[in-house]
Amino acid sequence: MATIPAPPHHNVLPSNREYVLGMPPDRPDIVLITTDQQRFDTINALGASHMETPHLDRLVREGITFTNCHITAPSCAPARASLFTGEYPHTSGVHRNGERWPETWISDLAAAGYYTANIGKMHTAPYDAPTSFDERHVVENKDRYLAPVPGDRPRLPGEKYYLDEWDKAFLDRGFVKPQRELYRQWEGYEERLGAFTWEHPESLHPDVFVGQRTVQWLDTQPALGRPLFLTVGFPGPHPPYDPVDRWLDIYREKALPEPVLSEDDLAGQPAPLDALRNHMESSDHDSTTHDVWAAPEHRQRQRAHYFANVSMIDEQIGNLLETLEANGYDDVVVIFTSDHGDALGDHGHIQKWTMYDVITRVPTIVWAPDRFDGNRRIDRLCQWFDIGPTVLDLAETGSGRQMAARSLLPGLEGQSWAGREHVFAEHRRDGILQGTACMSMVRSERWKLVHFVDNERGQLFDLEHDPKELENLWDDPDVADVKSELLDRLHEWRIEAGERPRLQARAATGSWPPEDNESSDEWWVHRGFDDPHIALQCSCGWQGTDGDVTGWKVDWDRDRVVRRCPGCEEPVPQWGSFRPIEGLEPLARGKLRDAIAASRPT
């Protein structure tokens, strides 16, 4: 680790906080560190013997690791929006990269007296959305080539031409930032599989830039007089895989894990995953080409570059921990995690957009030696967005925010904590996952089922006997009961997400629907199922309720449920004729779906 001068202490005293804001003097500072696309098997102390990660190893030794934490969506923005809202994508409304974020729980921290800051990547839409932070220093994707510009609304500052802090640093120093148009000129571009060596000053590497910017911010920030919530988002190891030589030298000749791949594995994959592999082989998203059966030396190079990127981030985390200590942040909770993994050739895939554990299972470590007993591993299932209510509990916000996420604090405190019986993830069709309208996953400790709403075949794995997920049991009659049970659980999960606002309203008013439902400037969809309290109206003059209509389908492209009018037999959009209860947040407008029920014959 590079030696850095000891910065001055800021002397943020508990008594000062109590005097200024009247808040409890023992609320911690909280630092949330996220990487982008980091697999679970990239930390030496968690069993990855090929890795050089001394600072992450320290967090593992002195902290608590949730070893079975799974994301809610296998791509950046949907997963991150889930994290900061505590809702699944079909509830948050963020199904794909580039979709505008709703309100986040950062506002609860601010209301409770925390100073909130973000340095680095969050992948909001727009990129520079305030998202309730007191200040943001945005660093986004390394490669923002040809991101779509919506044709029906003004261009959002969320595509190639947005200048983040990193872009400005390049411009100020007179360099041209590496990007796809330039990488394509490198010799052997097709065989590189996204692996390049950083050729500019190391201080301009995006992960170094974010790390150094964070250190500078902590060194120069005046005494806050209140606790700090800081989220630090490293852009790596997301491709392009672009380490500096001094870290790449460590991995070039190492024996690295080879991809998990076989002909039988590929033959057992459903059509949407075949389409995904073919798409990735014919494109170069994020300057990353793909070859399912790449030459061993090319795959070795790709993985060496990826793991070197992780070690570069580890070094920056070491600098960050040292700076926190030097600046008097003695009562601090550090949470380290990542938004999803990277296939790196496993199962014939690259990057994300699948539901294999190498994508959904992410490192999640909580480090607070003065608060929690360390060197512990918790193996029970949890979801990535469970970090949100955990932060709110640590901050003692008392906000009472209702969300699908559940706090991990009992587990951190050593209390009896059972974890989740099932975890879920989902992804909608986008420019890359083109072979299905919606992919959903339900996973228990032993079984995993992946469902594609418009395909007869899915995936079913017995993780106890097949932890590498190589044998798809979807058509195996011996486990038909297991498949049926998991499909039912997916169905129930979709309904539960829709029922929660009804239960909130009933708890607040004692009844449903609310009495004041005569008129409204806005009409909100209620995600229910054959619900007599949902009013429907057709242009032919027929009026009734959801319970009067039996034939229905999901119009995925327009994001709505369509019912068949009993009067004229024409499609009728489902609209709820009730207004949100004051003080309760409606989930979304115009979005009702039940993926599993929609895929079955009515």
The tokens describing 42, both together, are 């990239």
Whole-number pLDDT of residue 564: 57
Within a domain: residue 186?
yes
Same domain, 408 and 526: no
Same domain, 316 and 207: yes
The tokens describing 33, both together, are 């560190």
| Least confident residue range of 234-243, 256-265, 407-416, 552-561 | 552-561
**Strand pairing report for 376-378 and 423-428:** unpaired
Residue 121's domain comprises 19-421
Same domain, 547 and 415: no
CA 335 to CA 32: how far, in whole Å? 5
CA 385 to chain centre: 8
Same domain, 247 and 379: yes
CA 2 to CA 212: how far, in whole Å? 11
3-class SS of residue 49: coil
Beta strands in 388-446 (DSSP E): 423-428, 438-443
The tokens describing 428, both together, are 């909608």
Q: What is the DSSP letter of 464?
A: T
Whole-number pLDDT of residue 57: 98
Count of beta carbons in the 10 Å neighbourhood of residue 155: 12
Q: Closest Cα to residue 536, out of 571, 573, 580, 501?
A: 573
Whole-number pLDDT of residue 545: 54
Amino acid, res. 343: A
Residue 123 CB partners (closer than 8 Å, separation 6+): 36, 76, 77, 80, 97, 140, 141
Whole-number pLDDT of residue 127: 86
Q: Which of 392, 421, 450 marks a domain boundary? A: 421
Q: For the domain that residue 146 is a member of, what is the CATH number?
A: 3.40.720.10
What's the sign of the alpha-carbon dihedral 470, 476, 478, 479? positive
Total of domains in the chain: 2
Same domain, 413 and 524: no
Q: Judge whether residue 310 has pLDDT over 90.
A: yes
Q: To the nearest whole percent, how much of the chain has pLDDT over 90?
A: 65
Whole-number pLDDT of residue 553: 41
Q: Which residue has the tokens 């089922």?
A: 449
CB 289 within 8 A of CB 194: yes
Whole-number pLDDT of residue 494: 81
Within a domain: residue 274?
yes
Assign 3-class secondary structure to 20-46: HHCCCCCCCEEEEEEEECCCCCCCHHH
Q: How far is CA 566 from CA 540, 544, 576, in A?
A: 10, 9, 18
Residue 240 CB partners (closer than 8 Å, separation 6+): 142, 143, 178, 183, 194, 195, 196, 286, 287, 288
Whole-number pLDDT of residue 249: 96
Count of beta carbons in the 10 Å neighbourhood of residue 378: 20
Q: Which of 403, 421, 439 marks a domain boundary? A: 421
Question: What is the secondary structure of 508-559 as a DSSP string?
Answer: HHSSSS-S--S--SS-B----SS-TTSEEE-TTS-EEEGGG---EEEETTTT
Within a domain: residue 542?
yes
Within a domain: residue 455?
no
Q: Judge whether residue 270 has pLDDT over 80.
A: yes
pLDDT in tens, 506-561: 444 444 333 333 333 222 233 333 333 444 556 666 666 544 544 444 333 333 34
Q: What is the mean pLDDT of residues 194-206?
A: 97
Within a domain: residue 475?
no
Q: What is the DSSP letter of 257?
A: P
Q: What is the mean pLDDT of residues 144-149?
A: 52
Residue 249 CB partners (closer than 8 Å, separation 6+): none
CB 259 within 8 A of CB 299: yes
Residue 435: pLDDT band (50, 70, 90) is very high
Which has more pLDDT, 333 or 416? 333
Same domain, 535 and 393: no
Which has more pLDDT, 69 or 156? 69
Q: Judge whether residue 232 has pLDDT over 90.
A: yes
Residue 265 CB partners (closer than 8 Å, separation 6+): 347, 348, 470
Whole-number pLDDT of residue 566: 64
CB 491 within 8 A of CB 597: yes
First to last CA, the chain: 62
Within a domain: residue 225?
yes
Q: Closest Cα to residue 119, out of 65, 52, 165?
A: 165
CA 353 to CA 345: how far, in whole Å? 13
Taking all residues of the chain, what is their mean pLDDT, rounded to a whole number?
A: 82
Q: Which of 421, 449, 473 marks a domain boundary? A: 421
The tokens describing 282, both together, are 């014919």
Same domain, 181 and 298: yes
pLDDT in tens, 98-123: 888 888 999 999 999 999 999 999 99
Q: Which residue has the tokens 């030298």?
A: 249
CB 474 within 8 A of CB 101: no
CA 181 to CA 219: how far, in whole Å? 37
Within a domain: residue 435?
no
Q: Which residue has the tokens 């506002």?
A: 107
**Strand pairing report for 382-383 and 69-70:** parallel
Same domain, 416 and 522: no
Same domain, 415 and 521: no
Q: pTM here?
A: 0.81
| Least confident residue range of 173-187, 198-212, 460-474, 549-563 | 549-563
CA 92 to CA 77: how far, in whole Å? 11
Q: What is the mean pLDDT of residues 420-430?
A: 95
Q: To the nearest whole percent, how much of the chain has pLDDT over 70?
A: 75
**Buried-state track 410-432, b at ≥16 Cβ within 10 A, e below 16:** ebbeeeebebbebbbbbbbbbeb
Which has more pLDDT, 594 or 276? 276
Within a domain: residue 332?
yes
Same domain, 102 and 238: yes
Q: Judge whether residue 359 has pLDDT over 80.
A: yes
Q: Judge whether residue 282 has pLDDT over 70.
A: yes
Whole-number pLDDT of residue 13: 31
